Structure 1
Amino acid sequence: MAASGPIYTANSPIPVDLFVSKKYPGLTRGDIGFADSSGDVIYRVNRTQHQSKSNSSQRRKRVVVVDSAGNPLISVYRQDKGLWQGFKGDDGEEKELIFKVNRTMKTLTRTEFEVFLVDENSEDSASHFTMKGSPFQKSCTIYRGNSIIAQTSLMYKLQQIYVRRNKFRLTIFPTSIEPAVIVALVVIFLD
């Protein structure tokens, strides 16, 4: 009698877990670290203020996703209340737009966003992803259509009455989207 069930090959892609905390060694105050299961920080997120070149008196909130070697990968600027834009690198100029994020719902217990990836040839009007969840519970699920591409969850332990929210898990499921983009989206969700 043959057993029926999924067959996993050695080269099939598996989800990747990153552990998110502000308490990793080497992080400065205000930085957030995304570490692998060995505790090595893969991504670091810096929060800064940025002076707008068009209006020298205007300062905008900026988040920079940096890799383990210190190279800036993505700069995220908060445009207005509920609007963000992500640019490639961090040269101080907004040159290569990667994505736009628009908050569509915000209540006490639920927040939802639409994410628009920017194509080099044209800007699509349909959203590519949706993010839904509760920032207070560190619960965020990123969907592409009906498929989950990433999800955050608190770190529960057996026999623990109170679950601390200072460290949580980000699970990235196999996808063609660069993990740094997913990290930037999670930071936007928790902002």
Structure 2
Amino acid sequence: MELESSEWLSYPGSVDHSHIPIDLFGSKKHAGVPRGVLVFADASSNIVFKVNNAHTHSSPKKLLLDSSANPLFSIHRFPNGCWKCYKGDSNEEKELIFSVQRTLKKLSRVELEVFFKGENDGECDLKVRGSPFKRSCNIYKHNELVAQSSLMYKLHQIFVSRDKFRLTIFPETFDHALIVALFVIFLNGRK
């Protein structure tokens, strides 16, 4: 029996019980999707997640959608460099899943700290470190690697395209949608 997306979304950090790393391939160029829409596909090029831009009167917003275009997360950016991620297409405090604060911003490096709602009272739950320009980051829970991303490239290619990248999510860690939402924030964390 396959679960609906709303059934497996129990947060913070639902565990995926698969035993092998999962690769998702991100690109803004995917067949059947308007150009500029960020898509995450599996190894068979089936769309798993899409990211749509939306704006509210208070802040820029991104929606993380599943393959059927159902909203999983609403990601809001605030002027102070903070991000908040809510369940579904909400911005109500009771639907808050996690918040993200940028702790380092350099030209080539960004570090983010992730705080789940109601957990550890102010202690960082996850850290994201890397270079948004290179689409390269590592996501850690304490010292354990949860996920990492890197650019896709071919041997003998002089110019490395920044259009396609791979996001590897390691087994028995966090829900895939949550990791994708963190990666979307990371890509936009340089602003």
Shorter-chain TM band: 0.7 to 0.9
- Deviation (angstroms), 1:116: 0.6
In terms of Rg, which structure is larger?
1
- Deviation (angstroms), 1:82: 1.5
CA 1:86–1:157 in 2, change beyond 3 Å: closer, same or farther?
Answer: same
- Cα deviation per residue 1:25-76 (whole Å; 9 max; x = unaligned)? 232343200000000010000011012xxxxxxx310011000011100001
Q: Is the 8 A contact 1:65 1:73 kept in 2?
A: yes
Letter in 2 for 1:38: S
Mapping 1:140-155, distance limit 5 Å? 140-155=137-152
User: Number of residue pairs matched?
Assistant: 172
Q: Which residue of 2 aligns with 1:107?
A: 106
Aligned-residue CA RMSD (Å)? 1.7
Q: Is the 8 A contact 2:125 2:141 kept in 1?
A: yes
CA 1:91–1:85 in 2, change beyond 3 Å: closer, same or farther?
Answer: closer
Looking at structure 2, the residues matched to 184 and 190 of structure 1 have their Cα atoms a distance apart, in angstroms, of 10
**Range moving further from structure 2, 144-153 or 28-37:** 28-37
* Structure 1 counterpart SS, 2:121: coil
Query: Would you say 1:60 and 2:45 are equivalent positions?
Result: no
CA 1:21–1:159 in 2, change beyond 3 Å: closer, same or farther?
Answer: same
Looking at structure 1, the residues matched to 23 and 156 of structure 2 have their Cα atoms a distance apart, in angstroms, of 23
- Deviation (angstroms), 1:18: 0.3
Letter in 2 for 1:114: E
Q: Which has the higher helix share?
A: 2
Identity %: 50
- Deviation (angstroms), 1:16: 0.2
Structure 1 residue ranges (4+ consecutive) displaced by more than 4 angstroms after TM superposition: 91-94
- Cα deviation per residue 1:133-168 (whole Å; 9 max; x = unaligned)? 001111111001111101000112111121100110
Letter in 2 for 1:46: N
Q: TM-score, normalised by structure 2?
A: 0.85
Looking at structure 2, the residues matched to 146 and 80 of structure 1 have their Cα atoms a distance apart, in angstroms, of 30
1:47 to 30, 43, 53: 53
CA 1:95–1:30 in 2, change beyond 3 Å: closer, same or farther?
Answer: farther
Q: Which residue of 2 aligns with 1:184?
A: 181
- Deviation (angstroms), 1:126: 0.3
- Cα deviation per residue 1:53-108 (whole Å; 9 max; x = unaligned)? xxxxxx31001100001110000111223200000001465541000000000001
2:32 to 26, 48, 65: 26
Structure 1 unmatched ranges of 5 or more: 1-10, 52-58
Q: Is the 8 A contact 2:75 2:86 kept in 1?
A: yes
